[in-house]
Amino acid sequence: MNTVGEPVPINMINDHHCFGCGRLNLHGLHLMFYANVDGNGVWAPFTPTAAFEGYGGIVHGGIVCTILDEVMAWSLYREQTWAVTGQLSTRFRKPLVMGEPVLAIGKIVRDRGRVIDMRGEIRRASDDAVLAEGTATFFRVPEAQAAEWNERYQSGPVTPAAGDEGES
């Protein structure tokens, strides 16, 4: 939290083109992540636009899976764990509706060393109804890959997002 009680986003130092979280991807979701108050995982607000539509008025199922994958991956990133998705299972309970704000929440369920079990859900912001749930198995990457990603995303000058140049 900052001094006025607003949550502070978790960010990578260097921006990138990730479809889920990269600000440099013009067609991406541009998700921003915040630490869960219980100390485990992260949450992300999202309001879907027509760019992510499947059937008329609802979010494409692949986008729902992407949001769940991102919130689970960032739950690991918060712990400075570099891992990749090995398996993802999604249960669609209710449609995500265009223009209706949602919250995606990720948590670490169990750390088994190289293998990490994760859980995610997407809830409607207005009434906290569960719209989608996901479970995943993530695999830690080898140390050399983790070091490379850490160097790529966590060191050097900050890459400004479009429109951020010159702002303080």
Confidence label for 24 from pLDDT (cuts 50, 70 and 90): confident
Query: Per the structure block, which two tokens stand in for 19?
Result: 């479809």
pTM confidence score: 0.86
Which of residues 120 and 150 earns the better pLDDT score?
A: 120
Number of H helices, E strands in the chain: 2, 6
Q: Using the 8-state DSSP alphabet, how is residue 19 labeled?
A: T
147 or 20: whose pLDDT is higher? Answer: 147
- Rounded CA-CA distance 168/162 in Å is 14
Model pLDDT for residues 68-84, shown as the tens digit of each residue? 999 999 999 999 999 99
21 pLDDT tier (thresholds 50, 70, 90): confident
Of the ranges 45-54, 109-118, 144-153, which one carries the lowest mean pLDDT score?
144-153
Written as one string, the DSSP assignment of 61-115 is HHHHHHHHHHHHHHHHHHTT--EEEEEEEEEE-SPPBTT--EEEEEEEEEE-SSE
- Tell me: pLDDT of 7 over 70: yes
**2 contacts: CB under 8 Å, gap ≥ 6:** 8
Domain residue extents for the chain = 34-154
What percentage of the chain carries pLDDT values higher than 90? Answer: 71
103-129 burial: b if 16+ Cβ within 10 Å, else e: bbbbbbbeeeeeebbbbbbbbbeeeee
When pLDDT is averaged across residues 34-53 and rounded to a whole number, the result is 95
Question: What does the pLDDT average to over 100-115?
Answer: 98
Give the model's pLDDT for residue 19. 84
Question: In this model, does residue 1 exceed pLDDT 90?
Answer: no
Q: pLDDT class for 151, splitting at 50, 70, 90?
A: confident
CATH class of 34-154: alpha beta
